[in-house]
Chain A
Amino acid sequence: MDAFFEVENVVREFRPPVTLGDKIAARLGAKVEMRSVKAVNDVSLTLEKGKTLGLVGESGCGKSTLGKVAAGILAPTAGTVLLDGKPVMTDGRKQTTRVQTVFQDPFASLDPRMKVGDAVAEGPIEHGLVTRADARAYVLDWFARVGLDPSYANRYPHQFSGGQRQRIAIARALAMQPDLLICDEPVASLDVSIQAQVINLFLDLRRDLDLTCLFISHDLSVVRHVSDRVAVMYLGRIVEEAPTEALFEAPAHPYTRALIASIPKLVLNRETLVEFDPIAGEIPSPLSPPPGCYFAPRCPLAADRCRETAPDLRTTENGRRVACYFPVSTRGAD
């Protein structure tokens, strides 16, 4: 049976463009190494209808890239993304309007020279969700639903605060009547005082519209608040995926533990903390990741085996998936 939304073995590589110098060097017989970054490295995820999957990880681990592949903005180098069993993208073209995105930076994601009302109306008119004649009323309705005064529709983006802009960006995405909403750090660039308002708006709309969401964030407390399940990403790979409470109460992967331990707000008991320093060491370069488990160089539990071959993401108990040879026992929590 097909899941509602499936990301299957998705790989996304970035290659720096081949320079003239490289070409000449290659002609002359020099060995030009093709440096490519696997920003997303063999990721599989499934999402049930109406559920929210949180995606966490440090900056640069590939969350946005995965989000863009899932949203049909970037074509995957390998693998497929399916919504209701149909590919979101074929031949580098997005095939559906049912997946929409809210971007991280509302100062960059709105066209500075287009009235915000027109920006919200553009997609729905283009795809026949509303006629040009009814577009005005449609837009005003969406403005009201995201908590903006409808008279603001005639304004330009520079006349709004960050929080208001993000409401507009949410209205623009939802006016396309998506079934799946991808939120890439939607509150990361907002003032802390505004974040809660936007999150609450998001929760209200999600309930009213029965939305399925992929919620990307590096802020674990936000993800814990909004997600049904959480996936943890490290250097392009998913290292652990589990129901939200199980993941936070009993993280199985050493990286998840380190990540959770590094949240200042969460009070863990001291015994779990003394074992290791939260995330010591550097993230390996994505250009030349180590063989084996990418987290091994920083992992307090790493053995020889970890440095040789990478562990698969295996299902353990209660729908938890973890990629570790030595997952921390989670029996205590269950």
Chain B
Amino acid sequence: MSASDTQSPLRLFWREFSENKFAVGSLVVVVLLAVVAFLAPLLVPQDPYNLELLSLLDARRPPGFVGSGGYVHVLGTDPQGRDLLSAIFYGLRISIIIGLAAGAIALVLGTIVGIFAAYAGGWIETVLMRVIDLQLSFPAILLALVLVALLGQGKGQLIAALVAAQYAYFARTAYGAAKAERRKDYVEAALATPLAGYKVAVRHLLPNCMPPLIVVATVQIANAISLEATLSFLGLGLPVTEPSLGMLISNGFPYMMSGRYWISVFPGIALIILIVAINVVGDQIRDQFNPRLRK
């Protein structure tokens, strides 16, 4: 029995995805940035978190400058004398880790809340979904700001704040999808076996609710990354000793007008490429899942 004639939904999905060269290119960019971010310690000339390696003599030098370390600062240095390329690679790492962690935790939490609400019905459903709707009426950035201010600085706190700000989007989506799928015959057929409700929810409902959730997940990972950058830009994100892209942009901001553009611009470009690439991939996934846009 060969598995090769099995057209798994995933394989079909990839075939269609690969027809959009722009989306494939963006996916390659996302993967490349992720690889660069995770291999950063092996790729960069300097550990930007090691304050002993920094020299103020190297601060705010333009791209191409050869510093006291004896190597070329390809993208120049920041106001603390960090090699900007190294700082950007490490910053990407923070961005991607925080985006993925916040996105994944929010996905799991939101999906549990949403499917539970759809499955429980009655007043539990009403109360849960009203709370979710109420939360969705606040801008995520406002909620994240308040939470970060309350919880304090640090990766864990930041991720917690982002999850709290974002899980509601997943809950809404999971709830809507579960409500729609629940009415379909295959759910009724599984329940009629009979199978316990929670087993049907996990084995049948959940896999069929995944497509819209994956779309939301890509968007929310990009959002988490830009929220983190925004918070760090405002000085509320991570500690100064571990500069993220948002903080690098913020650090270079005072020097923008004095011609030292690179300190803000290069981290900014890295951030934009990452977010745009994730969004292009997300758009393609969304289009493929939207039956109305199908040929």
Nearest-CB residue, chain A, relative to B192:
A73
> Which residues of the other chain, B, contact A154 by a CB distance below 8 angstroms?
1, 3, 5-6
> Which residues of the other chain, A, contact B185 by a CB distance below 8 angstroms?
103, 105, 108-109
A22 to B208, CA, bound (A): 34
> Which residues of the other chain, B, contact A97 by a CB distance below 8 angstroms?
193-194
Q: How far is the CB of B284 from chain A (nearest CB, A)?
A: 20
Does B2 belong to the interface (CB within 8 Å)? yes
Contact between A73 and B5, CB atoms less than 8 A apart: no
A100 to B199, CA, bound (A): 18
Q: Most chain-B Cβ atoms within 10 A of its Cβ — which of A94, A113, A122, A156?
A: A113
Q: How far is the CB of A115 from chain B (nearest CB, A)?
A: 7
| Cross-chain contact of A112 among B9, B194, B203 (Cβ < 8 A) | B9
Q: Is the interface of A mostly helix, strand, loop or mixed?
A: loop
A27 to B7, CA, bound (A): 57
Question: Would A115 and B188 be within 8 Å (CB), given that A94-B194, A126-B193, A150-B1 are in contact?
Answer: no
Nearest-CB residue, chain B, relative to A111:
B186
Contact between B195 and A126, CB atoms less than 8 A apart: yes
Does B191 belong to the interface (CB within 8 Å)? yes
Q: For window 172-207 of chain B, which residues contact chain A by CB distance below 8 Å?
A: 184-186, 188-195, 199, 203-204, 207
A112 to B190, CA, bound (A): 13
Kindly supply a per-residue 1/0 record for chain A positions 82-110, scoring 1 wherever the CB is within 8 Å of any chain B CB and 0 otherwise.
Answer: 00000000000110010011010100111
| Cross-chain contact of B192 among A71, A122, A158 (Cβ < 8 A) | A71
Question: Would A123 and B195 be within 8 Å (CB), given that A112-B9, A151-B5, A154-B1 are in contact?
Answer: yes
| B contact residues, total (Cβ < 8 Å) | 25
Total contacts A to B, CB within 8 angstroms?
79
> Which residues of the other chain, A, contact B199 by a CB distance below 8 angstroms?
126
A100 to B237, CA, bound (A): 58
Contact between A151 and B1, CB atoms less than 8 A apart: yes
Q: How far is the CB of B85 from chain A (nearest CB, A)?
A: 44
Nearest-CB residue, chain B, relative to A182:
B192
Does B8 belong to the interface (CB within 8 Å)? yes
Contact between A110 and B186, CB atoms less than 8 A apart: yes
A105 to B160, CA, bound (A): 45
Q: For window 136-166 of chain A, which residues contact chain B by CB distance below 8 Å?
A: 150-151, 153-156, 158-159
> Which residues of the other chain, A, contact B204 by a CB distance below 8 angstroms?
111, 113-114
Contact between A176 and B9, CB atoms less than 8 A apart: no
B: residues with CB less than 8 A from A are 1-3, 5-9, 184-186, 188-195, 199, 203-204, 207-208, 210
**Can you name 11 extra interface pairs (CB under 8 A) apart from A73-B191, A122-B193, A127-B193?**
A72-B194, A94-B194, A103-B189, A108-B186, A109-B188, A111-B204, A112-B208, A122-B190, A122-B203, A169-B189, A176-B193
A-B contact pairs, 16 of them (CB 8 A): A72-B192, A73-B188, A93-B194, A100-B192, A109-B185, A109-B188, A110-B189, A112-B9, A113-B207, A113-B210, A114-B204, A151-B1, A155-B5, A156-B6, A158-B9, A172-B189
The 3 closest A-B pairs by CB, nearest first: A108-B185, A94-B194, A109-B185
